[in-house]
Homo-oligomer: A and B are copies of this chain.
Amino acid sequence: MTVHHFQPQQYVNTLGQHPPVLHISSGDTVVTSTVDARGWDHKGEAAAARGNPMTGPFYVEGAMPGDTLEVALESLVPNREWGWTRNALALNVVDPHIAAVLHPSEIVRWTVDVANGLAFLENPTPGLANLKLPLRPFLGCFGVAPGMGQSISTATSGEYGGNMDYRELIAGVTVYFPVLTEGALFHLGDGHATQGDGEIVGTGIEISLDVRFTVRLRKGKTIGWPRGESDTHVFCIGNSRPLDQALQHATTEMLAMLQEDYSLTATEASLLLGQTVEYDIANVYNPAYSIACKLPKELLATL
């Protein structure tokens, strides 16, 4: 139950077979920080190479393929006063004839007012002069090392997690990852101050974060895709392209979860999901898209 204060010195741009920066044990807490998607740190200085540089990996003692790694996100706080987004819809989220006329995307800066919990454009045009968005910081890219000795770019995602850009992965949420390699090798980064569904301009409000999380190892518990639990929902995430396949993965994992953890038959799970399931489109921008399949905990509690 140690609390580790870890100050990253270097970052990696793949989730994979990197030398661990720290060995931790099930139950340990880590207090650390992440730089933003372009490698800019809390001072706005370039501290890492572009492309979702990761803090970590953290080696979890005893973790072996077939286990599950539980990560409780306890605190995610922007540690500087500005973030940035792109300013044009991604070409793949609009009809091709519109993609052909959208102006090239540029980077714009947002003020991130942590004290008041708000973000707003630094230099808004008149139409957005009054826009103030509540902060809702989350981790865009985190997860374990993929299996089979792979090291995969933090641009994408898979069974191991990665760049899911799912805006519900805020502080207070617990995420479960399948352990695919010895030590699990947990990485994290790509903080967003807030974001809409789908990351449809290709970014949230990108920002560096102070992070506190606690890991727990579920020995012998095997899952297929990231799962999680928030105050209100349980969920499973599928990562793939196209959206249709991401949805298939997420739904298949939810079906398994209901059978394993809630002792429902496949028919019962189908009847329940058919009339109550909720889906979130986490991202529809990255090489692999992400969809979350959700159920309200309140509903499950009544069963």
User: What is A's interface to B at a CB cutoff of 8 Å?
Assistant: 13-14, 16-17, 51, 85-89, 91-103, 108, 119, 121, 125, 127-128, 130-133, 148-153, 194-205, 240-245, 247-249, 251-252, 255, 262-281, 284, 289, 291, 302-303
- Interchain CB contact under 8 A, A200 and B273: yes
- Interchain CB contact under 8 A, B130 and A194: no
Chief secondary structure at chain A's binding surface: mixed
- Interchain CB contact under 8 A, A274 and B243: no
Q: How far is the CA of A291 from the CA of B291 in the complex (A)?
A: 13
Report A38 CB to chain B, min CB distance, Å: 15
Chain B residues within an 8 Å CB radius of A267:
87-88, 103, 125
Instruction: Return the chain B residue nearest A13 by Cβ.
Output: B148
- Interchain CB contact under 8 A, B240 and A277: no
- Interchain CB contact under 8 A, B89 and A274: yes
Instruction: Return the chain B residue nearest A51 by Cβ.
Output: B148
Instruction: Return the chain B residue nearest A106 by Cβ.
Output: B267
Report A156 CB to chain B, min CB distance, Å: 10
Instruction: Return the chain B residue nearest A262 by Cβ.
Output: B127
- Interchain CB contact under 8 A, B266 and A102: yes
Q: How far is the CA of A303 from the CA of B302 in the complex (A)?
A: 41
- Residue from the list B127, B201, B242, B248 in contact with A263, Cβ < 8 A: B127
Chain B residues within an 8 Å CB radius of A275:
85, 119, 133, 194-196, 201, 204-205
**Would you list 18 pairs from A and B whose C-beta atoms are within 8 A, ordered by A residue?**
A85-B275, A87-B271, A87-B274, A89-B269, A89-B273, A91-B99, A98-B252, A100-B100, A127-B263, A128-B264, A131-B272, A151-B151, A152-B152, A199-B274, A200-B277, A201-B270, A244-B284, A247-B281
Shortest Cβ-Cβ A-B pairs, 6 listed: A201-B274, A91-B96, A243-B243, A196-B277, A127-B268, A95-B252
Chain B residues within an 8 Å CB radius of A93:
247-248, 251
Contacts A200-B274, A281-B291 supplied; 6 other A-B pairs, CB < 8 Å: A16-B151, A94-B255, A95-B249, A103-B266, A149-B151, A244-B289
- Interchain CB contact under 8 A, A91 and B87: no
